[in-house]
A and B are shown apart, each in its own frame.
Chain A
Amino acid sequence: MSAYKAMAARLLLLAWFGMVNAFAQTPTPAMPPASPEMEARLKLLETELRCLVCQNQTLADSPAGLAGDLRREIRLLADAGKSNDEIKEHLRARYGDYVLYRPVVNAKTSLLWFGPFILLLGGAIMVWMMARQRRAASLAATPAISADEAARAQALLEGNDGPPH
């Protein structure tokens, strides 16, 4: 890349960041520091709730603006005397089951929870059936013996060597 091109790219990048900064979301209003117990409780709640923007992150981990707002919302609800379950229910009623980082067990999520076990069971049944079939096949492949041979075998078992060949 020529120096000119590199410069142009840098300018474009600057212009882009400038544009983004010109209109920014207002930051989440700061909250007064919480007591250590409250801090621990909030931390627990934040790890159990999903950030709706960075969907594979919990509220505790996400740097998104909305995550900050939701952390503040949790704090405000906790300060208002709501229990952990009430807070989770409050957010679930607005954002759906998806906001819970650990999915709830209901009809819609049953496949998610029990699907792997169903697959495991299906696999076990298949292996068992295949083993049975294989054994039956190997038994069938053993050639049947004639009445003559059976008599000889019987004689051998009884310690009678029978007539020589």
Chain B
Amino acid sequence: MARAWRYFLPLAIFFGLLAFLWKGLSLDPRAIPSPMINLPAPAFTLPQLHAPEKTFSAAEMKGKVWILNVWGSWCVSCRYEHPSLNRLAKQQLLPIIGLNWKDVPADAQGWLAKFGNPYTLSVSDAEGRVAIDYGVYGAPETFIIDKNGVIRMKHTGPIDEKILEEKLLPVIRELQK
């Protein structure tokens, strides 16, 4: 009996290791969990992309569930995500605020004119300090913020129909209740 145990132990260790490595294959090492979930969204006041003389503050969204979407005309994945955002905007479920990250306003405006503008409005974060305040490390990133101004979900990377339907919309509907 003791002998059998000795022979099977290395095999068991091997399979244990295999299980860890197998799990590792399906993990995205670039995904960094945000420590900001369920914490108040950082306050900001920034000039609007299409009306730089006017500003927009996160505080204006109090009482509404809203989306903060980080994008830039230089961001290739944002283009991939854009049709999904356009479709979401058509449903008029909630305000979508664009954080135009480190972009040239003329480039950004041209980009929206070409691909459609899903945003209720966009604000220009030319220096990228608001993005840092939100822990942004790569566009596109999407934050869902509840009626009390608390971040309830963050999605890093482009949104597609599947992610929208299965990950974002259920949370949005729940928060809007």
Contacts and interface: CB of A to CB of B under 8 A. Distances in A.
A35 interface: no
A96 B35 contact: yes
Contact of A94 (B29, B36, B111, B126): B36
Given A23-B111, A25-B74, A26-B104, A94 B128 contact: no
B16 to A, nearest CB: 13
Contacts of A101: none
Given A73-B132, A96-B32, A96-B33, A29 B127 contact: yes
Given A52-B32, A55-B30, A25 B127 contact: no
A93 B72 CA distance: 24
B56 interface: no
Given A23-B111, A53-B138, A70-B132, A98 B32 contact: yes
B32 A23 contact: no
Interface string B1-44: 00000000000000000000000000001101111100000000
A103 interface: no
A73 B104 CA distance: 20
Given A52-B137, A53-B137, A73-B129, A94 B35 contact: yes
Contacts of B146: none
A65 interface: yes
Contacts, number: 58
Q: SS class of chain B's interface: helix, strand, loop or mixed?
A: loop
A75 to B, nearest CB: 12
A26 B102 contact: yes
Nearest to A129: B6
A83 to B, nearest CB: 19
Contact of A93 (B30, B35, B101, B103): B35
Interface in B115-149: 126-129, 131-135, 137-138
Interface in B81-98: none
A94 B132 contact: yes
B48 interface: no
A95 B35 contact: yes
A66 B137 contact: yes
A26 B35 contact: no
Interface of B: 29-30, 32-36, 72-74, 101-104, 107, 111, 126-129, 131-135, 137-138
8 contacts: A25-B72, A25-B102, A26-B103, A52-B32, A69-B129, A73-B129, A93-B36, A95-B137
The 5 closest A-B CB pairs, nearest first, are A52-B137, A94-B135, A23-B74, A96-B35, A25-B102
Given A69-B102, A96-B32, 10 more contacts: A23-B74, A25-B103, A52-B32, A55-B30, A65-B102, A92-B35, A94-B36, A95-B32, A95-B135, A95-B137
